[in-house]
Structure 1
């Protein structure tokens, strides 16, 4: 997974996973006995990121943290998308120069 677009796509998938988990936490914060979903990210050796989801050890809500996760994952997704768009533009420019 060494191409720029593959790395950016893994970043987008990780951001979506974080977005989904925090949305689930917010939606279920008042459900008795609900344990928050926690997303951890690990860098892969060839580039990109791998995510895993686990449950918190104790039941309880952390609404401020979940709101911050929503915003941060949105920015992360947008940054990865911008990387893909920039790569596409650069490839188009390169093809124009070579043609």
Structure 2
């Protein structure tokens, strides 16, 4: 499987498992895997009419949030997140992660 499809598949699986009615404020990281993750978040939010606020960690994340029609928040407004989504540079067999 090509790397870009593997990243998209991993992002979709993570979002599908984690985004639901009990999640209201999420942190959105940056990197190549975040692009399909934010797209999938937007699909779920719009399909299910969820009230979700996204707090970006970077300008890239901010632009992705806005371009996908998601609600933008800031750490100044929301100091506690229900969930944070970010990519990883490397993960080993024991799920140890390098960011």
Instruction: Report the TM-score, using the length of structure 1 for normalisation.
Output: 0.27
Larger radius of gyration: 1
The one of the two structures with greater contact order (alpha-carbon pairs below 8 A, sep at least 6) is 1
